[in-house]
Amino acid sequence: MTSDKVAILFDIDGTLIVTDGAGSTSWSMAFKEIYNIDAQIDRYSDIGMTDPEVARRTFEAVIGRAPTKAEFSRLLERRMHYLTESVQDSKGYHVLPGVEDLLPKLIAQGYL
């Protein structure tokens, strides 16, 4: 059976926006707050990885084991808390050309 539905997926940083390191900074701040560890996220993550993949891979590398569900949830929550601050402090954060025109068009066409 075929479907008419189409999914449009974007990697955010470098595709829709440039965060100028705000994502990495927010991960580092979360690890520092919770575990008092200077986690260098870029050492454990690759371009295109999802946030949960980044969290899990970095956690396993710096803590030495897989996170519990509670630890994983807390880490993601604290990262989101710091992301807002990191974006506001980022001097190079900007929306890439064409994005502000493209997204409303996708919404109007029922994709978002």
Residue range of the domain that includes 51: 21-90
Kindly state the average pLDDT of the residues 4-14.
Answer: 78
In a domain, 44, yes or no: yes
Domain total for the chain?
A: 1
Kindly state the average pLDDT of the residues 4-17.
Answer: 80
In a domain, 9, yes or no: no
In a domain, 3, yes or no: no
Q: What is the mean pLDDT of the chain?
A: 90
- What pLDDT is attached to residue 9? 81
Residue of 56, 62, 60 whose CA lies nearest to 76: 56
Is 17 in contact with 93 (CB distance < 8 Å)? yes
Convert the pLDDT of each residue in 58-112 to its tens digit.
999 999 999 999 999 999 999 999 999 999 999 999 999 999 999 999 999 888 7
- What pLDDT is attached to residue 3? 65
pLDDT of residue 2 exceeding 70, the answer is no
In a domain, 45, yes or no: yes
59, two tokens: 């956690």
Q: What is the pTM of this model?
A: 0.78
Is 25 in contact with 86 (CB distance < 8 Å)? yes
Is 13 in contact with 19 (CB distance < 8 Å)? yes
In a domain, 2, yes or no: no
Q: What is the CATH number of the domain that holds 25?
A: 1.10.150
Distance of alpha carbon 29 from alpha carbon 37, whole angstroms? 9
In a domain, 27, yes or no: yes
